[in-house]
Amino acid sequence: MNPVYSYDIHLPARMDPNKTYPTIFTLHGKGSNEKNMYGLAAPLSDEFIIVGIRGNLTLGAGFQYYELKSLGNPIRELFDQAVRQLEHFIHYATEKYPIDPAKRYLLGFSQGAILSMSLALTMGDQLKGIVALNGYVPDFVKTEYTLKSTQEVSVFISHGEYDSVFPVRIGHETAAYWEKRTPRFTFKLYPTDHGVSEENQRDVTEWLIKDAGVHLHTKE
């Protein structure tokens, strides 16, 4: 099977051929690309496999996974298709590379965060956890999708207090939704606009290390 998506894969430099690795699949924001997300996960590249998935639709000089009718209002057919195709891609990559299926994470920003949360709801404990930065769960996903239990899924959500694309109210609503769905839940606000601060990145890195139970090798 050929994947629908172009992707970048970074394997740990000193890999043990008899081992499978925790893996972070990154999902970028609208009009961006997979390389833009690598910096967020780069501090973990010795212990995790990092797979950057590029949206398959072009938008200006960048890419997207689905198109919008208006802000916060995805074209439903394209959104549904993206959720299906991303789930297939995760299984494809797991078969192709030494990925530990019990330690698969999604790390998404904006449009990528929206998809990460939607995939957590459709895949349930097939994912170990998700990091969703500045996103939301579309209402139709909550009400019309077949949702799996996320009790065992670890969820880290953050939002910019001054987010000019998705106001901070959306961050609070998203947090309230997830708080009821999993005890493994972290929510943080940062004094930023629609972006990711250094503090936010540091917190994400620490959270992923702890949640995956990995020990980072310090450089000699």
Say what the pLDDT of residue 220 is. Answer: 40
Q: Are 77 and 85 in contact (CB under 8 A)?
A: no
Residue 81 is encoded by which pair of tokens? 């298709």
Beta strand pairing call for 57-59 and 62-64: antiparallel
The tokens describing 63, both together, are 């890419």
Per-block mean pLDDT, blocks of 10 residues, the chain (220 long): 89 94 98 96 96 97 95 92 98 98 98 98 98 97 97 98 97 98 98 97 97 74
Q: pTM, whole model, 2 decimals?
A: 0.96
Tokens of 208: 């992923």
Q: Decide if 155 contacts 179 (C-beta within 8 A).
A: no
Q: Residue 167, Cα to own-chain centre: how many angstroms?
A: 20
Model pLDDT, residue 82? 98
**Cα 160 from chain centroid?**
17
Rounded alpha-carbon distances, angstroms, from residue 105 to 21, 52, 62: 11, 12, 24
Q: How confident is the model at residue 1, as a pLDDT?
A: 62
| Most distant CA pair in the chain, distance | 52
Instruction: Look up tokens 């208006």; give the residue.
Output: 70
